[in-house]
Structure 1
Amino acid sequence: MKKYLYLLLFLPTLAFSQTTKDSIAKLLSRKQYIEAEYAAFNYLKVNPQDMQVKELLGDSYGYQKKWNEAISVYKQLVDFKKNNAEYQYKYGGAMGMKALAVNKIEALGMVSDIREAFLKAAELDPKHTNTRWALVEFYMQIPGLIGGSQDKALKYADELYNLSKVDGYLAKGYIYETDNEPNLAEKYYKLAIKEGGSLWCYDKLTTFYEKQKQPEKALNNLEEAKSKHKRNALHYQIGKVAAEYNIELHKGEQCLITYIENYSPNDGVPKAWAYYRLAQIYLLKKDKREALKHIDLAISEYPKMKPFNEEKQKILKM
């Protein structure tokens, strides 16, 4: 009887709690980070021991790049449950992001705590992919004098490979790209495409080619991705490369026009940037009238955007 009475008394509270968590999670998924922060903060005033909502609060701080606040919340979670791999990972990640934003002296003082959190997360969960990615980046970004090591990064890339071949290949591509070994980087990015073929894999190789100043290869890779994935966003990417490197201008122009005609907010890049890229292409083609027309369309959407206004000045001087 007591068991049923307990359920009758507390079931509404449990249902309300779950509804609150779901609503906060939904706000985060919609990128309404400030609203999620306030909802979680106010809920925790009444329910301070709800670790799930506390984690959501930490996430809301992280999305807003409020690293000190995120670190404080994740530290509370780690203190509450040290053997939770996700808590350790998020704690280390928030400290790592703060380290990138502060001066080198302060960042050096954080290295040991960051490493400890990531290693603990990896130890706790042998299948925690994000932690292994974090360790790959960690060991590639810190100087060798304080523990940076390609060998250690490759160790976790191999662990990633055992969990997911695609992640393993991408991790090795990143390692060799960071260590200025472009041939090996290209090899592993291509293996990732062959193994997984996702848009993400294609994007990593495209970005690599752009950094290597190989726009022709970038365009060919984008064309291949477009043939397989049929995503409108790829039309913009092709136009962007064409405009930035003054190659395949006709193809770039047609792709940008197609992007604008088929645009939806899900494509990611606002139409204004497509107008801007078209203006760049028309400037390269010495078509001042079309260049001015399209840069004005871009400026009409974002009047204070510095690159747009600078491009207009170039066009006017043509």
Structure 2
Amino acid sequence: MVFKTNLNYIRIAFLLVLLSGGRLLADDAQANALLQQGRVDEAHTLLQTMLSAQPGNALAHQLLCRVYYAQEMEDAAIQECELAASQDPSNSNTQMWLGRAYGMKASHANPLVAFGLARKVRYAFERAVQLDPENVQAMNDLGEFYVDAPAIVGGGLDKARALASRMQPQFSSQSHRLLALIASENKDMTTAEAEFQKAVLAGRTPSAYIDLGQFYQRQNQPDKALEALKAGIDADRRKDASLVDAASILTAMNRSPQTAESLLREYLSSPARSDDAPAFKVHVQLGNLLTHQGDPASAHREYAAAVALASNYAPARRSLQGS
């Protein structure tokens, strides 16, 4: 009887562990869903509660890093991603977000500090790709680093070309995009245009069309830019962050403000919202557009919506106070 009773206790304990694990997975999923929807205040509260009970939850630390990153709070983002990386060093996505957080801080730092951070950016992106050779987002980040960074911190166009070659068999469109960036860095705009066009042909994805449109915008070819953007918008069945990119380019060109407004509103009502374009930032972007259109009342509502989602996002608070 004693043995049977002890066995029952073991079964109960095992069941509790399973239930606890399932609850933690559900909490992780809920926190991620809140992050994707741009509801970062709610995500922050949930993640802090989770981490107070489970401080070793690496995924929760990674998600909290992304919550801070979305709000441009680089120091807090770095701290959380470093914790996530120390607890789960084999996670490619965590290394990628750590590299992004280092990069954000480097972009605001003095040259001496930025030099040290750039090395950390490179290591994190290279580690992310090493851990998961199919992490195409990390490959894109690493490729852009190689193109933009000087050799002294690990950049270099030869490295970028080698990476593009590795990407070609499985990620042809992204490979051509990287080759286009390399050509642009070399001031070879003919080759850059051809590579951006090849990226479109390789996948006909919304992002590839948007990249081509941005290239034409920078080359002061607005008609070609508009044609590429329209193709990208038409190809975006999911209504994802590509809509926001298209709206941003239209605004930069001072073209079709009504279309830009429509795209931003369409994204904000889409189930494909993500932290690629955090909803609270899009509300601020829409508010700025409405301000320029002479509609301060509607702009104020957008700024208020942004603050309601992300009360610590400084640009949203400033815009609301000034509206």
Identical residues among aligned pairs (%) = 22
Moved more, 1-10 or 110-119: 1-10
Task: Show the counterpart of 1:6.
Answer: 13
Asked whether the equivalents of residues 214 and 249 of structure 2 are also in contact (C-alpha less than 8 Å), the reply is no
Task: Show the counterpart of 2:182.
Answer: 175
Rounded Cα–Cα distance in structure 1 between residues aligned with 2:14 and 2:152: 58
Task: Show the counterpart of 1:196.
Answer: 203
Higher Cα Rg, which structure = 1
Q: CA distance change for structure 1 residues 120 and 6 in 2, over 3 Å: closer, same or farther?
A: same
Post-superposition shift, 1:136?
0.8
Rounded Cα–Cα distance in structure 2 between residues aligned with 1:84 and 1:260: 38
Post-superposition shift, 1:131?
2.0
* Mapped pair 1:147 → 2:154: yes
Asked whether the equivalents of residues 92 and 114 of structure 1 are also in contact (C-alpha less than 8 Å), the reply is yes
Deviations 1:246-274, CA, capped at 9 Å, x for gaps: xxxxxx59xx4897699644487749837
Deviations 1:50-90, CA, capped at 9 Å, x for gaps: 22222222221221222111211222222223333233222
Asked whether the equivalents of residues 34 and 42 of structure 2 are also in contact (C-alpha less than 8 Å), the reply is yes
The count of aligned residue pairs is: 276
Task: Show the counterpart of 2:289.
Answer: 273
Q: Secondary structure at the match of 1:163?
A: coil
Rounded Cα–Cα distance in structure 1 between residues aligned with 2:222 and 2:167: 30
Rounded Cα–Cα distance in structure 2 between residues aligned with 1:239 and 1:85: 31
Task: Show the counterpart of 2:299.
Answer: 302
Q: CA distance change for structure 1 residues 159 and 208 in 2, over 3 Å: closer, same or farther?
A: same
Query: Which residue identity is paired with 2:254?
Result: E
Q: CA distance change for structure 1 residues 178 and 80 in 2, over 3 Å: closer, same or farther?
A: same
Asked whether the equivalents of residues 272 and 301 of structure 1 are also in contact (C-alpha less than 8 Å), the reply is no
Q: CA distance change for structure 1 residues 36 and 194 in 2, over 3 Å: closer, same or farther?
A: same
Post-superposition shift, 1:160?
2.1
Moved more, 174-183 or 23-32: 174-183
Q: CA distance change for structure 1 residues 80 and 257 in 2, over 3 Å: closer, same or farther?
A: closer
Measured on the aligned residues, the alpha-carbon RMSD in Å equals 3.5
Query: Which residue identity is paired with 1:244?
Result: N
Post-superposition shift, 1:126?
2.0
Q: CA distance change for structure 1 residues 79 and 198 in 2, over 3 Å: closer, same or farther?
A: same
Task: Show the counterpart of 2:61.
Answer: 54
Deviations 1:104-155, CA, capped at 9 Å, x for gaps: 2110022222222222222222222122212111111212344321111111
Q: CA distance change for structure 1 residues 52 and 219 in 2, over 3 Å: closer, same or farther?
A: closer
* Mapped pair 1:244 → 2:254: yes
Asked whether the equivalents of residues 180 and 196 of structure 2 are also in contact (C-alpha less than 8 Å), the reply is yes
**Match 2:221 to one of 214, 217, 222:** 214
Post-superposition shift, 1:242?
11
Query: Which residue identity is paired with 1:84?
Result: N
Rounded Cα–Cα distance in structure 1 between residues aligned with 2:206 and 2:263: 22
Query: Which residue identity is paired with 1:19?
Result: A
Query: Which residue identity is paired with 1:299?
Result: P
Query: Which residue identity is paired with 2:296?
Result: I
Rounded Cα–Cα distance in structure 2 between residues aligned with 1:12 and 1:110: 42
Task: Show the counterpart of 1:292.
Answer: none
Task: Show the counterpart of 1:161.
Answer: 168
Q: Secondary structure at the match of 2:169?
A: helix
Q: TM-score, normalised by structure 2?
A: 0.73
Unaligned stretches of 5+ in structure 2? 1-6, 271-281, 304-323
Post-superposition shift, 1:224?
4.4
Where relative contact order (Cα < 8 A, 6+ residues apart) is larger, the structure is 2
Q: Secondary structure at the match of 2:90?
A: coil
Asked whether the equivalents of residues 286 and 299 of structure 2 are also in contact (C-alpha less than 8 Å), the reply is no
Q: CA distance change for structure 1 residues 28 and 124 in 2, over 3 Å: closer, same or farther?
A: same
Q: TM-score, normalised by structure 1?
A: 0.74
Rounded Cα–Cα distance in structure 2 between residues aligned with 1:227 and 1:85: 32
Q: Secondary structure at the match of 1:93?
A: helix
Task: Show the counterpart of 2:123.
Answer: 116
Post-superposition shift, 1:169?
1.2
Deviations 1:177-212, CA, capped at 9 Å, x for gaps: 233221111101111111211221111111111111
Rounded Cα–Cα distance in structure 1 between residues aligned with 2:129 and 2:259: 47
Moved more, 265-274 or 136-145: 265-274
Rounded Cα–Cα distance in structure 1 between residues aligned with 2:260 and 2:90: 51
Q: Secondary structure at the match of 1:162?
A: coil
